[in-house]
Chain A
Amino acid sequence: SQQGEEDPQALSIQEGENATMNCSYKTSINNLQWYRQNSGRGLVHLILIRSNEREKHSGRLRVTLDTSKKSSSLLITASRAADTASYFCATDGRGYSSASKIIFGSGTRLSIRP
C-alpha cells in the first residue's frame, strides 16, 4: 500500500512557469523526502525535510511540510524542459522491528512544454 498520495497525478505547464505538487500521507513521520525519476530510470533524491521543519529550499526547489495536516508540497520555480519527470514523495515508517523503511507515494508526472 502507498503511504503517500501525490496530487495532481499529472501536470503539464509551460517552460518558465512554476510547478507545484502536493503530497498527503497517513501516519506520523520523522522526515519526508522528494525524489525524481526520469522515464524508466532509477530514482534520484531531491530534498529531505524533517518533521520539526516547516520549509526548506534547495536551488529552484521549495518544500513545505504541515504535520498537522499530514501534507507536503514541492514547488519547482522557473521550470525547464529538463524538469520533465515523475516526482514522488516518500515517508519513513517503523515496521515490526526497530528498523525503518521508506514508503513512496504514487507520483506526479510533470511535463514541461517548450
Chain B
Amino acid sequence: DAGVTQSPTHLIKTRGQQVTLRCSPKSGHDTVSWYQQALGQGPQFIFQYYEEEERQRGNFPDRFSGHQFPNYSSELNVNALLLGDSALYLCASSKGLVITGELFFGEGSRLTVL
C-alpha cells in the first residue's frame, strides 16, 4: 500500500522563477492538504483540495495556486518566487471533506530560492 509520495525531493530556483511540486495521496484518500514549513517552524497551512476544488485556504498570496486531478493527485504552483519561499513543502492526504482522523504526510519537497 503506497503512502503519500512527493516530487521532486529537492530543488533549487532563483528569484522570480516559477515552481511546480507534485503529490500523490495515499491509496484510498481523496483529500490533499499542502503545508509550508520554514526552518525551525511548524507547518503552515496553504490550501486543501477535495473533488478537484480548493476547499480551504490559509493566509498565502495568490502566487500560491494548486490543482487536483481526477486521480486525486495534486500540484502546488508558486509563481514569482521570493527568497522567503525557501522551505520544506509538505503534502498530506486524508479521506473525506471533513477531517476526523489523522493526516498522512509525504517526505516533502525542499525548495531553495537563491
Contact = CB atoms under 8 A, between A and B. Distances in A.
Interface string B75-104: 000000000000010101000011111111
Contact of A104 (B43, B59, B97): B43
A96 B56 contact: yes
Interface in B27-81: 33, 35, 41-45, 48, 50, 55-59
A59 interface: no
Interface in A55-104: 88, 90, 92, 95-104
A103 B56 CA distance: 12
Given A43-B90, A92-B99, A104 B42 contact: yes
B42 A106 contact: yes
Contacts, number: 73
A75 B11 CA distance: 37
Contacts of A99: 48, 50, 55-56, 97-99
Interface residues of B, number: 31
B108 A30 contact: no
A42 B106 contact: yes
Could you say which interface size class chain A belongs to? 20 to 34
A100 B108 contact: no
A1 interface: yes
Contacts of A31: 100
Contacts of A107: 41-42
A41 B107 contact: yes
Interface of A: 1-2, 30-31, 33, 40-45, 48, 88, 90, 92, 95-107
Given A42-B4, A43-B92, A95-B56, 12 more contacts: A1-B59, A42-B90, A42-B107, A90-B103, A101-B45, A101-B56, A101-B99, A102-B33, A104-B35, A106-B41, A106-B42, A107-B42
